[in-house]
């Protein structure tokens, strides 16, 4: 089955090789036993389910807590099935109903996942001729917005590349947001744009990177700079914004009474 | 406009040059005054021409843009000379999680875990790393959890122009229903559960019990089938192979 194939490089967890979770295992058992999903013989399926879990343990596979929880749920359902039913309450739910609904819901998405897998396989054979132009040479698409997530990913990259030297000395770090604002602005005074990496190139410590990032957010908020990507997931570039030259009186304290409030 | 041939060639050149699927609005940036419909027509003209001349390539719509590709008919030849580029492989966990996100977006991790029945931090994290999903905001309500959605990268990976290209959920339900036999949506759950219809007397339950205990022997036989080399059905062999693999002697 393709499940086995695609799972070979499972980077997540081993669920008895192929089972993604208790619902997956249950669906497998229901299919294998050829029982009606709407009329699951709970005792029989539970017994099998537990056998599988034991097998997983014998194979020294880590049995995720969810599998154990489901075993308990199955047993609870069985117990409730054994209890006499309330004759006066025709509305009383079949104890299995909740489980069946969960199984059906899960099954839909599992199926959708299979469809996606097929689409990926087809797409793999759609060869795309190389373009003479590289991503980096694409002129800015002014309408493709840059999301906060892009910004955070870019910043995470910066922090990742930033080795923080361990300094065993307590001192107050003299980094102020306004200093970093000035730094960014002076950087852009000399050139029209800068990549994220360039802006963070000289940053000595993590805290300075963080403050620089805050400065960028503030500058973007007041539209003194614009953050753009040429194509999605390309490197973020910082450009002069509409209000690049406007005076910086209040910006540094992130005061509520910003003159350009409508901008936000 | 006066010269369709020229417009077509310009559109062709732009799409050909673009390293990424080229949105129509970008074409309009380069060709002043061109209407979206004119771009679509140019692409249709071009594709028609490629078809007429028996070309191996076409323009298709992918992730909101236009892109050249070699029609699958020739993929076999391409692979004679060039190794098939292996796109990243997604695990089943990743695929089903992606499916949930694609159909339910914006969706929280809690929702995903609820449907899958397992913790999903690892998968979600991986999908984020692979740019197949992204955080699209926060949900209302307690804790304002992050919500996730799919990206353009997702569309490209699966060869989709837009999300609507995915089969509808109702179609998938039908697909499952057809395989399932009884118990489609047409039937209410009340009808589907025999216990509910049947007189809820203790005897009815005992019957169920008997039924199950009577299964004992058959089951025992069944569980033998899990042993490697004994599987006959497709399902069995699937598990057998897998158990075999994961259960290598230490």
Q: What is the pLDDT of residues B165-221, one digit of tens each?
A: 999 999 998 888 766 654 444 444 444 555 444 433 343 333 334 444 444 333 333
Select the residue of B68, B196, B235 nearest A129 (Cβ to Cβ): B68
One domain, residues B107 and B159 = yes
One domain, residues B9 and B76 = yes
Q: Do B16 and A131 touch (CB under 8 A)?
A: yes
Report residue A160's pLDDT band, with 50, 70 and 90 as the boundaries: confident
d(CA A166, CA B167): 54
Chain B residues touching residue A102 (CB < 8 angstroms): 117
Q: What is the mean pLDDT of residues A115-122?
A: 92
B86 inside domain: no
Question: pLDDT value at position B207?
Answer: 39
Domain boundaries, chain A: 2-124, 135-164+173-263
Q: Do B91 and A10 touch (CB under 8 A)?
A: yes
Of A180, A4, A192, A184, the closest CA to residue B240 belongs to A4
d(CA A181, CA A218): 8
- Structural domain count of chain B: 3
Question: pLDDT value at position A166?
Answer: 59
Q: What is the mean pLDDT of chain B?
A: 76
Is-contact B30 A139, C-beta < 8 A? no
Beta bridge partners of B146: B138
Residue-wise pLDDT for A127-143, tens only, equals 998 888 887 777 776 66
Report residue A172's pLDDT band, with 50, 70 and 90 as the boundaries: low
Q: Do A111 and B245 touch (CB under 8 A)?
A: no
To the nearest whole Å, the CA of A163 is away from the closest chain B CA by 21
B241 inside domain: no
Cis peptide before B106 (omega within 30 of 0): yes
Residues of chain B with pLDDT > 90, as a percent, come to: 47
H helix or E strand, kind and range, residue A141:
none
In terms of average pLDDT, the best of A134-143, A235-244, B144-153, B201-210 is: B144-153
Q: In the A/B pair of chains, how many CB contacts fall below 8 A?
A: 254
* Chain B: residue whose CA lies nearest to A42: B212
Is-contact A25 A67, C-beta < 8 A? yes
Lowest mean per-residue pLDDT among A65-79, A142-156, B76-90? A142-156
Chain B residues touching residue A114 (CB < 8 angstroms): 95
Query: In CATH, what number is assigned to the domain containing residue B153?
Result: 1.10.10.10
B247 inside domain: no
Structure tokens at A194: 């800068």
Residue written as tokens 């380069």? B30
Select the residue of B18, B87, B95 nearest A124 (Cβ to Cβ): B87
Is-contact A69 A22, C-beta < 8 A? yes
Q: What is the mean pLDDT of residues B46-70?
A: 95
Question: pLDDT value at position A138?
Answer: 78
Chain A residues touching residue B87 (CB < 8 angstroms): 120, 123-124
B145 inside domain: yes
B144 inside domain: yes
Chain A residues touching residue B188 (CB < 8 angstroms): none
pTM above 0.95, yes or no: no
- The two beta strands, B107-108 and B146-150, are antiparallel
Residues of chain A with pLDDT > 70, as a percent, come to: 77
Question: pLDDT value at position A3?
Answer: 37
Q: What is the mean pLDDT of residues A187-208?
A: 83
d(CA A232, CA A258): 31
d(CA A169, CA B58): 64
Checking if the pLDDT of A99 tops 70, the result is: yes
To the nearest whole Å, the CA of A222 is away from the closest chain B CA by 22
Q: What is the mean pLDDT of residues A51-70?
A: 82
Q: What is the mean pLDDT of residues A195-221?
A: 84
B200 phi/psi in degrees, rounded to 5: -85, 55
Q: Do A143 and B182 touch (CB under 8 A)?
A: no
To the nearest whole Å, the CA of A14 is away from the closest chain B CA by 9
Is-contact A174 A214, C-beta < 8 A? no
Judged on CB neighbours under 10 Å (0-12, 13-18, 19+), A251 is buried
Chain B residues touching residue A99 (CB < 8 angstroms): none
| Axis crossing angle, helix B109-116 with helix B121-129, rounded to the nearest 10 | 120
One domain, residues B9 and B54 = yes
Domain boundary among B81, B106, B129: B81
Of B90, B95, B102, B97, the closest CA to residue B113 belongs to B97
One domain, residues B99 and B161 = yes
Q: Which domain holds residue B194?
A: 171-214
* Chain B: residue whose CA lies nearest to A44: B212
Question: pLDDT value at position A237?
Answer: 83
B9 inside domain: yes
CATH of A135-164+173-263, one of 3.20.20.105, 3.40.190.10, 2.40.50.140, 1.10.10.580: 1.10.10.580
Of A94, A98, A55, A51, the closest CA to residue A73 belongs to A98
Question: pLDDT value at position A188?
Answer: 87
Question: pLDDT value at position A146?
Answer: 67
Question: pLDDT value at position B176?
Answer: 83
One domain, residues B111 and B55 = no
Q: Do B26 and A141 touch (CB under 8 A)?
A: yes
B58 phi/psi in degrees, rounded to 5: -145, 170
* Chain B: residue whose CA lies nearest to A123: B159
Measure the CA dihedral B73/B77/B83/B84, to 10°.
Answer: 0
Residues of chain B with pLDDT > 70, as a percent, come to: 69
Report residue A50's pLDDT band, with 50, 70 and 90 as the boundaries: very high
B36 inside domain: yes
One domain, residues B177 and B137 = no
Question: pLDDT value at position A170?
Answer: 58
Question: pLDDT value at position B184?
Answer: 41
One domain, residues B157 and B178 = no
Select the residue of B67, B126, B134 nearest A11 (Cβ to Cβ): B126
Question: pLDDT value at position A171?
Answer: 59
Q: Do A38 and B182 touch (CB under 8 A)?
A: yes
Q: What is the mean pLDDT of chain A?
A: 78
Q: What are the DSSP calls for B154-202, one per residue?
A: HHHHTT-SSGGGSPPHHHHHHHHHHHH-S--TTS-HHHH-HHHHS---H
Is-contact A82 B195, C-beta < 8 A? no
B233 inside domain: no
- At a CB cut-off of 8 Å and minimum separation 6, what does A155 contact? A196, A209, A213
Structure tokens at A220: 């973007």
Checking if the pLDDT of A98 tops 70, the result is: yes
Q: Do B181 and A36 touch (CB under 8 A)?
A: yes
Question: pLDDT value at position B127?
Answer: 94
């Amino acid at each position: 089955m393709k499940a086995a194939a695609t799972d070979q490089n499972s980077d997540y967890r081993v669920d008895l090789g192929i089972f993604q979770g208790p619902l997956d295992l249950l669906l497998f058992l229901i299919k294998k036993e050829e029982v009606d999903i709407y009329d699951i013989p709970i005792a029989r399926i539970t017994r099998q389910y537990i056998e599988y879990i034991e097998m997983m343990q014998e194979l020294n596979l880590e049995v995720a807590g969810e599998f154990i929880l489901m075993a308990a749920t199955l047993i609870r359902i069985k117990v409730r099935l054994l209890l006499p039913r309330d004759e006066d309450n025709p509305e009383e739910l079949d104890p299995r109903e909740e489980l069946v609904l969960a199984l059906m819901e899960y099954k839909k998405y599992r199926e959708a996942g299979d469809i996606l897998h097929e689409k990926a396989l087809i797409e793999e054979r759609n060869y795309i001729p190389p373009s003479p132009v590289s991503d980096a040479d694409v002129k800015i698409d002014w309408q493709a917005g840059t999301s906060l997530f892009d910004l955070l990913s870019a910043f995470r990259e910066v922090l990742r590349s930033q080795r923080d030297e361990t300094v065993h000395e307590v001192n107050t770090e003299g980094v102020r947001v306004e200093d970093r604002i000035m730094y960014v602005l002076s950087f852009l005074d000399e050139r029209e744009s800068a990549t994220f990496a360039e802006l963070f190139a000289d940053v000595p410590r993590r805290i300075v990177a963080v403050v620089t990032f805050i400065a960028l957010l503030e500058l973007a908020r007041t539209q003194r700079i614009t953050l753009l990507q040429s194509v999605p997931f390309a490197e973020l570039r910082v450009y002069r914004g509409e209000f690049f030259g406007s005076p910086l009186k209040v910006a540094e304290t992130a005061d509520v009474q910003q003159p350009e409030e409508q901008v936000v | 406009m006066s010269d369709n041939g020229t417009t077509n060639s310009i559109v062709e050149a732009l799409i050909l040059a673009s390293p990424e699927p080229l949105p129509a609005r970008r074409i309009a940036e380069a060709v002043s005054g061109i209407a979206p419909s004119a771009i679509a027509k140019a692409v249709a003209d071009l594709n028609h021409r490629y078809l007429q001349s028996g070309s191996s390539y076409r323009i298709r719509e992918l992730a909101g843009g236009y892109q050249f590709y070699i029609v699958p008919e020739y993929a076999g030849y391409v692979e004679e000379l060039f190794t098939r580029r292996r796109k990243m492989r997604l695990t089943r966990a990743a695929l089903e999680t992606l499916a949930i996100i694609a159909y339910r977006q914006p969706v929280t991790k809690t929702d995903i875990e609820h449907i899958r029945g397992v913790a999903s931090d690892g998968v979600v994290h991986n999908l984020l790393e692979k740019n197949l999903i992204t955080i699209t905001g926060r949900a209302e309500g307690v804790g304002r959890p992050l919500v996730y959605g799919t990206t353009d990268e997702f569309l490209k990976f699966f060869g989709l122009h837009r999300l609507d290209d995915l089969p509808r959920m109702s179609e998938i339900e039908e697909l499952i229903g057809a395989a399932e036999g009884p118990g489609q949506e047409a039937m209410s759950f009340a009808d589907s559960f025999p216990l509910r219809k049947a007189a809820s007397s203790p005897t009815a339950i005992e019957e169920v019990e008997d039924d199950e205990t009577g299964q004992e022997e058959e089951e025992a036989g069944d569980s033998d089938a899990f042993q490697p080399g004994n599987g006959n059905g497709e399902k069995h062999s699937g598990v057998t192979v897998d158990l075999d693999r994961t259960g290598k002697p230490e």
